[in-house]
Structures are given as C-alpha cells and as structure tokens.
C-alpha cells in the first residue's frame, strides 16, 4: 500500500489522491482510478487485501476473468450490465460511503439473473430488490439499503398511479443525476 501511495504521489502529485481501504484513489480529469495492492504467487494466482481486514487477510481475484464475464454478460443483456454496474457503484459511493467492496459488488451483479428485465430501470430495480445485508454489517449500510428499497417501492406505487413526476422525484433520492 505504501508503494502505491509513493508511486501516485511521485508521478501524479498535482492530482487528487486519497486512501479508501484497501485502495488508493487517483482522480485524473474527474475520472477516478482505484489502485489496489496485489500479490501474484508462483502459480500466477493474484490476491488483493480483503476489504474488511487490516491487510492481514487476502482474497484471490481474477480481474481478467471478471472483465470477460462482465463483457459477456453485458452483451447477452442488451448492453445494460456495464451501465448498471456504474449506477450501482455510484450509489455505493454516494449513499453507502463505499460500504460494499467495488470488486465484490461488480461480481455480485454479474452473477445475478436478470430474467424479464428490458430497460436499465428494470435492471437497477432488480439489483436493489436482490440486495441484502447481514446482521454484522454497519448500521449505515443497513439504513441505506432499507431507504433505497423504500424509495423503489414508492417509485413503483407512483408509476401505478401514472404519477411520473413524483416517481422521477423519488428516484432522484437515490441516484440524483438521472
């Protein structure tokens, strides 16, 4: 982690840099790059720090494999998965303060079934319908998930009443830039 921090401070000193365990976030022209320390073993397996640890626990990862899964899933779902991932990551940053591991969230989305979804709203609502938390999760995560699920329920109710203005106003509570 120190090596990554030294690297970005040396080569990108004029850019915004901050730490968000287990990543170093580098912002270049309003694009944020999450740099993660990694280790490769003798067999080529890659491990990254577990998000809930103090760098003592590592979890295996396959970024190239995930990228292929995302691309394949995106293609087979009318190119809605990549925009969905971006929306869910936006929500994770803005409403849950990065409560979910970015890699884990992306993997979770790719492993979901989206049967019956036709537009991005359907995909997004399906993700929030399927989203859950555990007893041990921080209260702010539980509150954000519960609040989001309530907003989705309100949007659905407004849409049944054909009250699109209220539905749009409601959805902006969770993703304001839509």
In the chain, domain spans: 2-61, 64-171
pLDDT in tens, 113-138: 999 999 999 999 999 999 999 999 99
Q: Of 96 and 84, which is predicted with more confidence? A: 84
pLDDT at position 98 over 60: yes
By residue count, the chain amounts to 178
Helices and strands (H, E) in the chain, number of each type: 7, 6
Exposure b/e, 14-25, CB count within 10 A at least 16 = b: eeebeeeebbbb
Phi, psi of 165 (to 5 degrees): -65, -45
3-state secondary structure of 62: coil
User: pLDDT tens digit string along 16-70?
Assistant: 776 766 778 888 877 778 888 888 999 999 988 876 655 568 888 888 888 999 9
């Amino acid at each position: 982690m120190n090596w990554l921090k030294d690297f970005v401070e040396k080569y990108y000193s004029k850019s915004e840099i901050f730490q968000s365990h287990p990543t170093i976030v580098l912002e270049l022209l309003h694009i944020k790059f999450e740099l993660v320390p990694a280790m490769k073993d003798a067999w080529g397996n890659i491990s990254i720090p577990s998000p809930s640890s103090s760098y003592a626990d590592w979890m295996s990862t396959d970024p190239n494999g995930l990228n292929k899964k995302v691309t394949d899933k995106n293609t087979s779902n009318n190119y809605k998965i990549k925009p969905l991932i971006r929306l869910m990551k936006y929500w994770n940053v803005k409403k849950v303060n990065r409560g979910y591991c970015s890699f884990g969230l992306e993997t979770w989305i790719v492993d979901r079934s989206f049967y019956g979804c036709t537009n991005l709203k359907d995909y997004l609502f399906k993700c929030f319908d399927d989203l859950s938390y555990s007893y041990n999760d921080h209260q702010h995560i539980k509150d954000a998930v519960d609040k989001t699920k309530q907003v989705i329920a309100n949007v659905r109710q407004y849409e049944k009443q054909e009250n699109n203005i209220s539905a749009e106003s409601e959805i902006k509570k969770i993703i304001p830039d839509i």
